[in-house]
Amino acid sequence: MLTIALPKGALLQDSIRRFQDLGLDFSLFLDSKNRQLQIADPTQTAKALLVRAQDVPVYVEYGQAHLGIVGYDVLREKKPQVAQLADLGFGHCRLSVAAPAASPYRRSADLPPHSKVASKFVHCAQEHFRGLDLPVEIIPLYGSVELGPITGMSKAIVDLVSTGKTLRENGLTEIEVLFESTARLVAHPLSYRLNSHDLRHWLRRLRGQ
């Protein structure tokens, strides 16, 4: 049976809708009373796993799922050994550097050398500042990173931005965009090469071809 890893959170509803368009129904995951983390489609064609977004590529890489949907931001941060098959065109956001609006910083390069920058995207942040040849200390935070500058623990943050409302409400402003992110379809590389469970068929349908 085809196994699909679906991400909890912001991408879940659109992911489920995309598979519903193909005749696979995993909408039970949207029921607040449901506690199952693995469900089969009523047609018994496929089953889905409900996992943290950051864990989707792990389940795919280790072969527990043949397909998965995950944000490009996770793929850039984790660099998993998975086949990236398609940009699904939803879940638009961007990974940005943000600093207090009242600060003099208007681009990443304005930050003083050896500044502290808070982020849950540690590797992406390190890669960005390394490319600028600007030494900074990345502080890993996995909750509300906006508190870093508010409390004075960091000069700036690197975080996902959608509308920018949360930044504005906390006195922060975007000063640089690292990259844009959307939902991506990924597959286990060997399964895709061997076309296990007719993966190429599902890829064509998900692409609308």
Reported pTM: 0.92
**Sorting pLDDT into bands at 50, 70 and 90, what band is 70?**
very high
Listed in order, the ranges of the chain carrying CATH 3.40.190.10 are 2-91+182-206, 93-181
Among the CATH numbers 3.40.50.1110, 3.30.465.10, 3.40.50.300, 3.40.190.10, which is that of 2-91+182-206? 3.40.190.10
Residue pointed to by tokens 């693995």:
38
- Give the β-pairing of 93-100 and 2-7: unpaired
Note the CATH number of domain 93-181.
3.40.190.10
pLDDT digits (tens, 9 = 90+) for 151-206: 999 999 999 999 999 999 999 999 999 999 999 999 999 999 999 888 999 998 88
**Sorting pLDDT into bands at 50, 70 and 90, what band is 56?**
very high
pLDDT digits (tens, 9 = 90+) for 87-122: 999 999 999 999 999 999 999 999 999 999 999 999
- Distance (Å, whole) CA 31 – CA 11: 15
Label residues 122-161 b or e (16+ Cβ within 10 Å = b). bebbeebbeeeebebebbebeeebbebbeeeebbbbbbbb
pLDDT for res 168:
96
pLDDT cut 70: percent of the chain above it: 100
- Distance (Å, whole) CA 11 – CA 126: 26
pLDDT for res 209:
46
CA atoms within 13 A on the CB side of 203: 21
